[in-house]
Amino acid sequence: MAANSPRSDALTDGYGRRISYLRLSVTDRCDLRCRYCMAEDMSFLPKSAVLSIEEMGDLATRFVARGVRRIRLTGGEPLVRRGIDTLAMRLGALIGDGLDELTLTTNAMRLSDHASMLAAAGVRRINVSLDTLDPQAFRHITRVGDLSVALRGIEAARGAGLAVKINMVALAGLNEDQLLPMLGWCAANGCDLTLIETMPLGEVADDRSDHYIPLHQFVAPLRAERAISPIVKRTGGPARYFEVEDSPVTLGLITPLSDNFCASCNRIRLTVEGRIYMCLGQDDHVDLRAALREGDDVDGLIDAALAGKPLAHDFVITRESQPAVARHMSATGG
């Protein structure tokens, strides 16, 4: 077999974990500047440093051939990437032919213009990052965002037949009074809700220790009012799911700091530069872009990445701690 010919053997890391979920970052750019995620003044990659839409499709197809069953398109904000429709259509065509599901995470600022395209491509559910329903707080957290635009995008997505799950980052002092309103809004608008602890990735202006709050504290006001019971549900990601008394909303909890979930990690991340990062919280990576363009052994590099995948990350947030890695979440893919 030629060095650059695709293989079909399954992806397994050095700890025996089967890799079946690819998070594919299509851009490091974003039209928001969320305080916990990005610096206010960001430097983005030049066009020459990023994979083309065709190259992304080629690599994703290779991963599907080796057993990836779910692909999530991420960023930055994936809907700012020119050609996202072409990529979504190409990957959507793999559903039923090795791929079980194509999904997307978005801030919804451009969702009104793309919802019908995503549905036509075969996307059936999306995650929308939305940390508050208060317009002023939304503007503060995102620095530049208009809440009404995001809400119109969510409405358009649901109108196109997409299931919407809201991703809400728990932020002490910024939105810890917003959980109950958000849960009520999700119930009224047919959305599920997942809460996420903030993670120490990249330098930002705010001190993350000022805003980190473990989810068991964040959900305390809800637990004081209603019972929350675990349910058996898996969507391929790290969330644990719960049903909420007297609510149709499925509640997910993602706890990278307070309750590490790495033992069951089934994910691999491919950045817009063509790099595989073996762990979100570490800098070790392999570069597939050069191998792809030069016809070298891409699958051999993928195997090397999996062999080096660590058992767990080592996230810590304190006033004295530095970010786990220098790169921002937008550079890796959320």
Domain ranges within the chain, ordered by starting residue? 21-332
- Whether 297 and 4 have beta carbons less than 8 Å apart is answered as yes
Average pLDDT, whole number, for the chain? 88
pLDDT above 60: residue 143: yes
Cis geometry, peptide bond prior to residue 76 (ω within 30 degrees of 0): yes
Q: What is the pLDDT of residue 318?
A: 45
Known binding residue 293? Answer is no
Q: Extract the tokens encoding 98.
A: 């090795």
Task: State how beta strands 250-254 and 192-197 pair.
Answer: parallel
User: What 8-state DSSP symbol labels residue 33?
Assistant: -
Known binding residue 267? Answer is yes
pLDDT tens figures, 300-316: 999 999 988 877 655 44
CATH class, domain 21-332, is alpha beta
Known binding residue 165? Answer is yes
Known binding residue 191? Answer is no
Known binding residue 319? Answer is no
pLDDT above 90: residue 207: no
The mean pLDDT value for 21-38 works out to 92
The backbone torsions φ and ψ at residue 68, rounded to the nearest 5 degrees and listed phi first, read -70, 125
Q: Extract the tokens encoding 55.
A: 């190259």
pLDDT tens figures, 319-334: 444 444 455 555 565 5
Q: Given phi > 0 = left and psi -120 to 50 = alpha, else beta, which region is 294?
A: alpha
Known binding residue 105? Answer is yes
Known binding residue 265? Answer is yes
- Whether 194 and 167 have beta carbons less than 8 Å apart is answered as yes
Nearest Cα to Cα of residue 88 among 109, 74, 102: 102
Helix-then-strand count for the chain, H and E = 12, 12
Does pTM top 0.75 for this prediction? yes
Known binding residue 129? Answer is yes
Least trusted range by pLDDT, from 33-47, 163-177, 287-301? 33-47
CA 195, CA 164: separation in Å to the nearest integer? 14
Known binding residue 186? Answer is no
CA 68, CA 289: separation in Å to the nearest integer? 19
pLDDT tens figures, 225-262: 999 999 988 776 778 999 999 999 999 999 866 555 56
Percent of the chain with pLDDT over 70: 84
